[in-house]
Amino acid sequence: MSQENVETVKEFTRIFEQGDRETWREYFDPEVVWDTSASTWPSAGVVQGHTGVEQFFRDWLGTWREFEVETSEYLDAGDSVVVVFRQQGTGRGSGVHMERDFFAIYELKDSKVVRYRMYDSREEALEAAGIRE
């Protein structure tokens, strides 16, 4: 099941990177828990369900004039997949260009994401997923 989970996560992250902001719902449980509380993002917290995830993305993407995110690595963690992201963008209000990596754990059940957790460091994400490198 773990390789299937990796393929599922690869599929929806590719779709998102290509600019599709609708299809993600097919991959996420309607009651998904979206948890960014372990990160230092300004709006860090926990939201639930498709509506909560949609609000997160409106808030996050709304702050950028230009924005790109790409994945650089997928790590199998059994029922979870750790993803390394690289984001870059230019702030809508500030005009400041920013680049940074962030790390996410997608927990899946029956090929649907039931929980997402975001971390600022690789070490934190790997530890939370139970991966030793």
Q: Is the pLDDT of residue 117 over 70?
A: yes
- Looking at residue 89, its pLDDT comes to 86
Give the C-alpha separation, 86 to 80, whole Å. 20
**φ, ψ at 113 (rounded to 5°):** -75, 125
Domains present along the chain, CATH in parentheses: 2-123 (3.10.450.50)
Residues 87 and 99 sit within 8 Å (Cβ to Cβ): yes
- The pLDDT tens digits of the residues spanning 56-90 come to 888 877 787 888 888 999 999 999 999 999 988 89
What is the reported pTM?
Answer: 0.91
Amino acid at 70: E
Assess contact for 53 and 46: CB atoms under 8 A: no
Rounded Cα–Cα distance for residues 76 and 1 (Å): 10
Cβ neighbours, 10 Å, residue 59: 13
